[in-house]
Amino acid sequence: MDAFDRGAQKKVASGMLLTLDNQIDTTTGTVKARASFENKDAALFPNEFVNIRLLVNTLHDATLIPSSAIQHNGQVAFVYVLLDNTAHMRSIKPV
């Protein structure tokens, strides 16, 4: 995780994400996060607002579908796929 200044122009520090809040502040469009930074040069201070770039995970050869399209039948998840104007049920493995 990389922390940038308010203008998201200058990289201030690199660290590790510890926790994420489960609520989005609708007035600012932000999420509270707790992270750990070495902060050797004292560039960061507690409760400072920073912009974060975070690579969570990269999935290769994955198909993205809206969660509202996923149907459940017990433990099995599936979607309907249109092929030649006919709907076909396809089992999926949500990640």
CA distances from 72 to 67, 69, 79, 91 (A): 11, 10, 9, 10
Tell me the two tokens of residue 44. 């960061």
CA distance 41 to 71: 51
Total-model pTM:
0.51
Contacts of 31-35 with C-beta under 8 Å, sequence gap 24+, read 35/1, 35/3
DSSP 41-73: T----TT---EEE------SS-----GGG-EEE
User: Across residues 7-14, what is the average pLDDT?
Assistant: 89
Condensed to tens digits (0 to 9), the pLDDT of residues 37-90 reads 888 888 888 888 888 888 888 888 888 888 899 999 988 999 999 999 999 999
Domain ranges of the chain: 2-53, 60-95
On the 0-12 / 13-18 / 19+ scale of CB atoms within 10 A, 73 is exposed
What is the pLDDT, as a whole number, of residue 63?
85
- Residue, of 55 and 16, whose pLDDT is higher: 16
User: Across residues 16-35, what is the average pLDDT?
Assistant: 88
